[in-house]
Amino acid sequence: MTQHVVTQTPQFFLTAPSPCPYIQGQFERKVFTHLVGDRAPGMNDLLTQGGFRRSQNIAYRPACESCRACVSVRIVTDEFAETRNMRRVQHRNSDLIGTMFDAQPSTEQYSLFRTYLDARHRRGGMSDMSVLDYAMMVEDTHVDTKVIEYRRRGPDSFITGRGEGELIAVALTDKMGDGLSMVYSYFDPEMEDRSLGTFMILDHVARAKAMGLPYVYLGYWVNGSPKMNYKVRFQPQEHLTARGWERFPIED
């Protein structure tokens, strides 16, 4: 009798070329695999350390034929030093508090998410996401994924540890063995003067330090893409190169 052996070795697939959203005239391809089952958390750790990102139960990384502009970035939390501008951002948002929950979507989250997309990414690849699509983005995970909701501090926040009132910003975050990986974040676009994107990264650095985790993974930095420039402001940081993770700026 023939026996069929089920392998737990992940299978990798390659997407067809499509226009690059970051560099005009370039085409992108991605290599991806599925993150499912009991091995998903460990596999997600290894793949993230190897330059992959997670979207729902998919881990992917660029595999472009003629371009290597996308570079994985992670902040070194123990040595991180805030700049004067970052301290101002912290002060500006001192009335906010983030509360971490298990990854569960809500209508309030989706409403803010929809407002954010319509204001900031109307023509982006996520612009037509429905409430069901959003729920899948949050819930479809086999790893330790958290949602952090940011609200204003209230009279009881020092007791409950939670903010109160309207939802101002949200971060979808994976907790890994060596760090926090920021999967996606969004905020109230009418509060642009608060620099909420910067504030959420600073909050993740503080959380990683408190958890004893050495890194915060920021995804990809694309040299030459203005909307990615903010990522290199968080120093010290490491970039994944052909020689492994190296401090940036890289010294010869």
Show the tokens assigned to 196: 């909420």
Instruction: Using the predicted structure, report yes or no on whether residue 25 has a pLDDT greater than 90.
Output: no
What CA–CA distance (Å, rounded) separates 154 from 96? 9
Residue at token pair 């971490």: 100
> Rounded to whole angstroms, what are the CA distances from 28 to 24, 148, 218, 230?
11, 31, 20, 22
CB 176 within 8 A of CB 48: yes
Read off the pLDDT band of 249 (50, 70, 90).
Answer: confident
C-alpha distances (whole Å) from 29 to each of 17, 60, 63, 65, 194 are 5, 10, 5, 8, 35
For the 84-206 domain, the top CATH level (class) is alpha beta
d(CA 107, CA 138): 12
Q: Among 20-29, 88-97, 133-142, whose mean pLDDT is lowest?
A: 20-29
Note the residue count of the chain. 252
Tokens of 197: 């994107």
Phi, psi of 122 (to 5 degrees): -60, -30
pTM of the model: 0.91
What pLDDT is stored for residue 227 in this prediction? Answer: 82
Which carries the bigger pLDDT value, residue 128 or residue 124?
128
Task: Name the pLDDT band for 3 (thresholds 50, 70, 90).
Answer: very low
In this structure, the number of other CB atoms found within 10 A of the CB of residue 29 comes to: 15
Q: Quick one: pLDDT at residue 174?
A: 98
CA distances to 104, 172, 235 from 135, in Å:
8, 12, 34
Residue ranges of the chain that CATH labels 3.40.630: 84-206
pLDDT, mean of residues 165-175: 97
- Residue 2 belongs to what H/E stretch? none
Q: What percent of the chain has pLDDT over 90?
A: 78
pLDDT of residue 161: 79
For residue 204, the surrounding DSSP H or E stretch is helix 196-211
Sheet containing 237-241, strands listed edge to edge, beginning at the edge strand earlier in sequence: 96-102, 145-152, 164-175, 179-187, 215-222, 70-76, 237-241, 244-248
Q: Alpha-carbon distance 65 to 83, whole Å?
A: 37
Structure token pair of residue 237: 């940081």
**Top mean-pLDDT range of 16-20, 85-89, 123-127:** 85-89
Name the maximum alpha-carbon separation found in the chain. Answer: 71
Bridge partners, residue 97, by sequence: 151
Rounded CA gap, 47 and 53, in Å? 8
Q: What is the pLDDT of residue 24?
A: 85
Cα–Cα dist 199/86, whole Å: 8
Binned at pLDDT 50, 70 and 90, residue 5 comes out as very low
Who has greater pLDDT, 189 or 66? 189
Distance of CA 7 to the CA centre of its chain: 30
